[in-house]
Structure 1
Amino acid sequence: MRTASGYQAGPVDTGGELAQGDVVLSFLGEQAQVHKTGMTFPQNLSERSWERIGASLRELTNSSVWWLADWLTFGETTYGLRRYREAIERTGLDYQTLRNYAWVARRFEHHRRRDSLSFAHHAEVTRLSPPEQDYWLGKAEQQKWSRNELRRMVRASLAEQSDKTRIPPSSGDEKQEVPRPAESAGADKHRRKVTTLTIELSASQLDTYSKVAAAHGLPVDKWVAQVLDAADRRTA
């Protein structure tokens, strides 16, 4: 199997030099031999070559998860593998693992997947909106964050936003009831009336606002509502 990364994997016939089931990875050349149960190296392998092999193996491992996820979603769509039975038998992986792979693959079209980030990076932001996903993956790419660093940053942003919207507790030890002025039924009904506001934005404006909203851990519509509320309080 040949890929865009330039490596090839598959059974080979080497005239008996390799055991049945051994594979060749073309990026290894003569530097190492791969077997189903491990890899062997020559004693004179340079450190630089060893580093290159590690980087290539990392890419191969990350890509293989995407390949498996796409293989699974294709099977679901084309052959109706609703219960993953065939996929479980073919891969030996459990249902939950396969389901998680497919979930991430469906949330990211091929053109939105980032080569420099792992499958696990993408999995960390699957529950966010697409603009938020793109924002955080872009930050992770620029800052060279690990998966765990990305997770911490996203969670910190969401926690900060949650703290901003939380009502501060009373300074006293006992609960104090805040007096409310009497309101007529008509006034109460008017107070609860909701108005829908439509705002026309260009594509570039929407993209910019979505990224700003994502930085605050919010969908763009909720972020706009907060900005308008803040402006209203300043002019009151």
Structure 2
Amino acid sequence: MTTASSHEARSKGPDDEAAPRDVVLPFVGSQATVRKTGMAFPADLSQRSWERIGTSLREFTNSSAWWLADWLLFGEATYGLRRYREAIDRTGLDYQTLRNYAWVARRFEQHRRRAGLSFAHHAEVTSLSAPEQDYWLRNAEQRKWSRNELRRAVRAGLAEQRETPRPAEAAGVDKGRGRATTLTIELSAGQLEHYSQVAAAHGLPVDKWVTQVLDAADRRIA
């Protein structure tokens, strides 16, 4: 004789295991039903609640890139993860994606990451020096630039830097007449930060900016 309970136990198959399961997202609460395969909203959901959910989803998506990157770097430092095989198995992401995440995270310590900007904003300036990164990201945050707007501004700044002649060249100085040497300047941490920001505003690393300032002063004296 087959009981109801034993029949139910036998009838449970793979399809039951694959049935959608609810996902807990605190910022959604009871305003919607969240599953791995989608999100269902009640008909009476207010527009304000809908907007808040969208904003939170944007922040969640942006943060997840940082979380994955930091998770990966922790695995490298703690468990000797080197070839990303374990990370690929765990996340389902390809090698290049994980490598890009880790590269951006290494270039930005957590205290330098701007919550008002996306992970993609930070990725746009990874090849620049730290002061230049801070300068462009600060502008992007203040001016509410999209990732593409930031990209265009950085490219324009770099192009202008390449087209601007160096002071020595503009003055017709023969570089062959002198030898390169090293000048040591002692600065406080605050001064270095200030001058680095000024240099970044001109699209230059601080050492090249200092050289331009000195050359310009020399021409004025002459």
In the alignment, does 2:189 pair up with 1:206? Answer: no
- The letter for the 2-side match of 1:228 is L
Q: Distance in 1 between matches of 2:90 and 2:52?
A: 31
Counterpart residue number, 1:194: 180
Q: Distance in 2 between matches of 1:26 and 1:189?
A: 64
Which blocks of at least 5 consecutive residues in structure 1 are unaligned? 1-18, 168-187
Counterpart residue number, 2:216: 230
Q: Distance in 2 between matches of 1:138 and 1:22?
A: 39
Counterpart residue number, 1:60: 60
Q: Distance in 2 between matches of 1:63 and 1:221?
A: 35
The SS at the match of 1:28 is: coil
Task: Describe how 1:78-97 pairs up with structure 2 within 5 A.
Answer: 78-97=78-97
Q: Is the 8 A contact 2:166 2:212 kept in 1?
A: no
Q: Distance in 2 between matches of 1:52 and 1:138?
A: 25
Q: Which has the higher helix share?
A: 2
**CA distance 1:143–1:233, shift in 2 (3 Å):** same
**CA distance 1:48–1:88, shift in 2 (3 Å):** same
Tell me the C-alpha RMSD between the 2 structures.
Answer: 2.1
The SS at the match of 2:39 is: strand
**CA distance 1:41–1:99, shift in 2 (3 Å):** same
Which blocks of at least 5 consecutive residues in structure 2 are unaligned? 1-18, 168-173
Q: Distance in 2 between matches of 1:166 and 1:60?
A: 45
Q: Distance in 2 between matches of 1:189 and 1:137?
A: 36
The alpha-carbon deviation at position 192 of structure 1 amounts to 3.7
Q: Distance in 2 between matches of 1:224 and 1:78?
A: 41
The alpha-carbon deviation at position 108 of structure 1 amounts to 1.0
**CA distance 1:190–1:87, shift in 2 (3 Å):** closer
The SS at the match of 1:34 is: strand
The SS at the match of 2:128 is: coil
Give the TM-score normalised by structure 2.
Answer: 0.84
The alpha-carbon deviation at position 195 of structure 1 amounts to 2.4
Q: Is the 8 A contact 1:121 1:150 kept in 2?
A: yes
- The letter for the 2-side match of 1:84 is Y
Give the TM-score normalised by structure 1.
Answer: 0.79
- Aligned residue pairs total 199
The SS at the match of 2:61 is: helix
- Percent identity of equivalent pairs: 79
The SS at the match of 1:145 is: coil
The alpha-carbon deviation at position 159 of structure 1 amounts to 0.7
The SS at the match of 1:165 is: coil
The alpha-carbon deviation at position 102 of structure 1 amounts to 0.2
**CA distance 1:193–1:35, shift in 2 (3 Å):** same
Q: Is the 8 A contact 2:126 2:133 kept in 1?
A: yes
Counterpart residue number, 1:136: 136
Cα deviation digits, residues 3-45 of structure 1 (max 9, x gap) = xxxxxxxxxxxxxxxx553212121122111111111101111
Counterpart residue number, 2:24: 24
